[in-house]
Structure 1
Amino acid sequence: MNGSCGAGVASSALFPISLQGVGLRRGANWVLRGLDLQIARGGITAVVGPNGSGKTSLLRLIHGLERPTCGRLLFAGQEPPLEGMAYPGQAMVFAHTPMLRGTVTDNLRLALTGRGSDPGLIEAALIRAGLQSRGRQSAASLSSGQRQRLALARAWMMQPALLLLDEPCSHLDPQASAAILQDVQELAAQGITVVLSTHRPDEIALAQRVLRLDHGQLQTFCAPQSLNPQRLGAIPPGDSACSRDFVCHSSV
C-alpha cells in the first residue's frame, strides 16, 4: 500500500477503549465473561487464544455488531450510541469479507456510501491494493489474497481511527500473507490503531501488545517477545512477563 489517509474520526473520541465487567451471552452460553481491560490508542494489538476462546466475539462487540449482555463498553469514557449497527470511527475486515457483485471499483464505492463520489480516493485505494489495472474487473474473479487487499483498501477509504481485523491472513498463501501484513504495518504507521485476532506467529510479531483469551476470559496482556508461539494456547495466567494492564501502560 502506498499513500496516506488521515483518520476520519479523531482518535480522542474513541480511546481508550474500556471494557468494565463485560460479558456476552448467546443463548445459555457465555462467550465472553468478566472482561476488564483497556485498549490504548496507537500501534497493533493481537488478540490470541484457542479456537472458541472469544477472539472474534470480542472484535464484533468492540465494533458494535453485538452488544454486551452485562458490563460497560466505553469509548473515551463515553457509552456508544444504542442505535445503528457499527460504531463510528471504526472499520472491520473479516477473514472472509464478502464482495458485492460488480467490479472492483463498485466494491470500493461501497466505502463512500452517504459521502458522495471521490474518484481520486478510489484511484488511491486501487493503488494501495495493487489493483490499479483491475478496477473494471469483476471482484468475483480476484484471488483470495487480492480480495483481502481490496477489503483492506475499502476499510482505509472509510478513514477509521480503529481497524479491526479478524484473522486477516486466514487461508492465504505466503506471498499473499506477506502483502497483507505489509499493508497492516503501513496502516498502523499512519496512526490507525489496529486490533487483530490471530493464531499466526508472523502476525503476532507485528504487535506491540498481545491480549490472550481463554474460554471467553482475559488471561494476559504481554509483549509478543515474551510469547512462545508453540504455547499460545497454554500460557499460564500468572506469567511474570505479562500483566493485565500492559495495554494501559505501554508507550506506542
Structure 2
Amino acid sequence: MNVASESFAVDVRDLQVRRGTHRALVDVNVKVGRGSITGLLGPSGCGKTTLMRSIVGTQIVESGSVTVLGKPAGSADLRRRVGYVTQAPSVYLDLSVTENVSYFAALYGRRGSAVADTIAAVGLTDHARNAASALSGGQLGRLSLACSLVGDPELLVLDEPTVGLDPVLRAELWEHFRTLAARGTTLLVSSHVMDEADHCDELVLLRDGRLIAQLTPGELRDRTGEPSLENAFLRLIRTSTGA
C-alpha cells in the first residue's frame, strides 16, 4: 500500500463514477486527514452521496482509486472500522431504541455503558424504551446515527445527519462530533447548509460532480473576500465556471 495513502484516513484519486449516461463524479481528488472533521458541501445532486458511497465501498466506480484507512474502499477489514449514516434512517422499526443500539453494539463487540452513553449523546434517553416505529423523522435520524456511533468507528461518514433537527440539537451534535474528532475519530459530514461549514476543519466543495476546491473555512473566505461562507461558495462557483 502506498505510504502516502496510509497517512490519510481517506485518499481519493482521479475518481470517476458513471450512472447510466450521467457522469456522477468526474476526476475527483480528495484527501481527508485523520482525526479531523471534513465537510462535504454543495447543492443537492452535486455528487456528495455518490462520493460517500464510494468511500464506504457501496458504489461501483468506473475508474480511479479510493483508499480508506490504508485499505481499498469496501475491504472486509474496514467493516468494523468505518461507520456510515445514510440520509434514510437504517433501523429496525419493530425494535425499541435501546434494542436497536444494543444490536449494533453487539455486532461491533461493544459492551458496558456504550449503549446508554450513545443514546444519551444523540438526545434519545427519554425515548430509550420506545419502538422505533413511534419516533418522529428527526428522532429516527438520531437513532440511525446512534447505531453507527456505538461501534466507535475510526472513520464516521455522515450523509446530512442534521436534516430536520432543531437548532439546539444540531449544536449539541456538532459539539459531540468535535469531541469525537479530538479523540482521534475522522468524520466526513455532508451538508447543503453552509452555516455548518464553520464547524469543519476542512471543506470539500462539489458542483455538478466536480471538485471545486478543498480548503479550510478561513481559506475560502480569504480567497473570495466574502465573510459569509454561503456567499463565498457562490463566488467560488461563479469564478470556477466563468459565470
Q: Give the alignment's TM-score, normalised by structure 2.
A: 0.81
Structure 1 88/59 Cα, relative in aligned 2: closer, same or farther at 3 Å? same
Q: Distance in 2 between matches of 1:116 and 1:76?
A: 20
1:99 aligns with 2:100: no
Q: Is the 8 A contact 2:9 2:34 kept in 1?
A: yes
Structure 1 146/236 Cα, relative in aligned 2: closer, same or farther at 3 Å? closer
Could you tell me which runs of 5 or more consecutive residues in structure 2 were left unpaired when the two chains were aligned: 222-228
Superposed displacement of residue 79, structure 1: 2.5
Give the equivalent residue in structure 2 for 1:121.
Answer: 114
Structure 1 77/189 Cα, relative in aligned 2: closer, same or farther at 3 Å? closer
Q: Distance in 2 between matches of 1:14 and 1:152?
A: 27
Q: Is the 8 A contact 2:122 2:173 kept in 1?
A: no
Q: Distance in 2 between matches of 1:106 and 1:22?
A: 39
Superposed displacement of residue 130, structure 1: 3.0
Give the equivalent residue in structure 1 for 2:236.
Answer: 235
Q: Is the 8 A contact 1:48 1:232 kept in 2?
A: no
Q: Is the 8 A contact 1:103 1:137 kept in 2?
A: yes
Q: Is the 8 A contact 2:16 2:61 kept in 1?
A: yes
Aligned-partner residue type, residue 99 of structure 1: V
Q: Is the 8 A contact 1:210 1:224 kept in 2?
A: yes
Aligned-partner residue type, residue 96 of structure 2: T
Aligned-partner residue type, residue 176 of structure 2: D
Q: Say which SS state the counterpart of residue 221 (structure 1) adopts.
A: strand
Q: Distance in 2 between matches of 1:149 and 1:79?
A: 29
Structure 1 134/171 Cα, relative in aligned 2: closer, same or farther at 3 Å? closer
Structure 1 20/177 Cα, relative in aligned 2: closer, same or farther at 3 Å? same
Query: How do residues 99-248 of structure 1 correspond to structure 2 at under 5 angstroms?
Result: 99-100=91-92, 101-115=94-108, 118=111, 120-225=113-218, 226-227=220-221, 228-236=229-237
Identity %: 28
Q: Distance in 2 between matches of 1:116 and 1:81?
A: 20
Mean Cα deviation higher: 40-49 or 122-131: 122-131
Structure 1 14/105 Cα, relative in aligned 2: closer, same or farther at 3 Å? farther
1:34 aligns with 2:27: yes
After superposition, what is the alpha-carbon deviation per residue over 1:71-120, rounded to whole angstroms, capped at 9, x for unaligned? Answer: 11123554245669x75411111233133122111110231344567353
Aligned-partner residue type, residue 31 of structure 1: A
Superposed displacement of residue 126, structure 1: 2.4
Superposed displacement of residue 51, structure 1: 2.0
Aligned-partner residue type, residue 231 of structure 2: Q
Q: Distance in 2 between matches of 1:75 and 1:14?
A: 10
Superposed displacement of residue 236, structure 1: 4.2
Q: How many residues align?
A: 227
Could you tell me which runs of 5 or more consecutive residues in structure 1 were left unpaired when the two chains were aligned: 1-11, 240-252
Give the equivalent residue in structure 2 for 1:47.
Answer: 40
Structure 1 60/223 Cα, relative in aligned 2: closer, same or farther at 3 Å? same
Structure 1 159/72 Cα, relative in aligned 2: closer, same or farther at 3 Å? same
Superposed displacement of residue 27, structure 1: 1.0
Superposed displacement of residue 144, structure 1: 3.4
Structure 1 195/134 Cα, relative in aligned 2: closer, same or farther at 3 Å? same
Q: Give the alignment's TM-score, normalised by structure 1.
A: 0.78
Q: Is the 8 A contact 1:50 1:233 kept in 2?
A: no
Aligned-partner residue type, residue 166 of structure 2: D
Superposed displacement of residue 175, structure 1: 2.9
Give the structure with the higher percent helix.
2
